[in-house]
């Protein structure tokens, strides 16, 4: 069987970097994209010979298209697409500006649309492929002071479910990972008090690791998930059921 390839949009830090390392360790040819984290991307490449990194601004369709073209040119194909790029916004809804709202959706939703649109033609031609989108537990339940983020991540879930129905006949699965509170840069601004409170709310009484989310992604990309599509898998320690 030809070596499988994975393109991780937003793969230089946090969950994306953990996924890049885990897929690499499991024999995948790995390409990651970065926007402002070139240094982290270069370190990942250095530590994983053969891994490639491509610049990609997910707010710009031509930039996404270029990254997909570079990945395809380098490895010949893209078997697995992981849409991991995303931004958060913690702010009262009434103080959220139209520009902030637009940027959150442009990054979290439209960026996912751009990547899926760019990769799907080759997957449809081969009649196979895996797409894994990243939402959040707040996309499932909503979070106070994170309306824009919650709404955008709920949209990713809707995109996943609808696209899974559309491309299923082409042998392509589309699933969604909705992490809970994970120890990443996005949550680094949480106070120790907030972290303790979230741990207390979580049945497993702790915050998750990027590697644990990456493990769910690896499963969704593998043969044991071949009959799984349109689903939301939530590594969240039980905080949302």
pLDDT at 219: 98
Task: Write the DSSP string, 154-211.
Answer: HHHHHHHHHHHHHHGGGTEEEEEE---SBSSGGGTTS-HHHHHHHHHHSTT-S-B-HH
pLDDT at 186: 76
> Where do the domains of the chain lie, and which CATH numbers do they carry?
5-233 (3.40.50.720)
Show pLDDT as tens, one digit a residue, over the chain (241 residues): 689 999 999 999 999 999 999 999 999 999 999 999 999 999 999 999 999 999 999 999 999 999 999 999 999 999 999 999 999 999 999 999 999 999 999 999 999 999 999 999 999 999 999 999 999 999 999 999 999 999 999 999 999 999 999 999 999 999 999 999 999 887 877 888 888 999 999 999 999 999 999 999 999 999 999 999 999 999 999 999 8
- The residues that bridge with 39 in the sheet, in sequence order, are none
Q: What is the pTM of this model?
A: 0.97
CB 55 within 8 A of CB 67: yes
Whole-angstrom distance, CA of residue 13 vs CA of residue 37? 8
pLDDT at 194: 86
Task: Write the DSSP string, 45-62.
Answer: HHHSTT-EEEE--TT-HH
DSSP code for 222:
S
What are the catalytic residues?
Answer: 149
Q: Choose among 116, 103, 98, 104: nearest CA to 9.
A: 116
pLDDT at 185: 81
Q: Is the dihedral of CA 196, 199, 201, 205 positive or negative?
A: negative
């Amino acid at each position: 069987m030809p070596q499988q390839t994975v393109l991780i949009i937003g793969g230089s830090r946090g969950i994306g970097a953990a996924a890049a390392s885990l897929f690499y360790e499991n024999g995948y040819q790995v390409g990651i994209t970065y926007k402002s984290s070139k240094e982290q991307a270069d370190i990942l490449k250095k530590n994983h010979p053969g891994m490639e990194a491509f610049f990609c601004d997910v707010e710009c369709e031509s930039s996404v298209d270029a990254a997909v073209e570079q990945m395809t040119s380098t490895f010949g194909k893209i078997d697995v697409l992981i849409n991991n790029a995303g931004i958060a916004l913690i702010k009262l809804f009434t103080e959220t500006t139209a520009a902030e709202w637009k940027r959150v959706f442009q990054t979290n939703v439209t960026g996912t649309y751009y990547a899926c649109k760019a990769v799907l033609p080759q997957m449809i031609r081969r009649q196979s492929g895996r797409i894994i989108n990243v939402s959040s537990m707040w996309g499932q339940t909503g979070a106070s002071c994170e309306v824009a983020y919650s709404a955008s991540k709920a949209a990713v879930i809707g995109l996943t479910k609808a696209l899974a129905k559309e491309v299923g006949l082409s042998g392509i699965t589309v699933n969604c990972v909705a992490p809970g509170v994970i120890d990443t840069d996005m949550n680094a601004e949480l106070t120790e008090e907030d972290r303790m409170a979230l741990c207390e709310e979580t049945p497993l009484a702790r915050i998750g690791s990027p590697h644990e989310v990456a493990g769910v992604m690896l499963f969704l990309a593998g043969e044991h998930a071949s009959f799984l599509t349109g689903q939301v898998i939530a590594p969240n320690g039980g905080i949302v059921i």
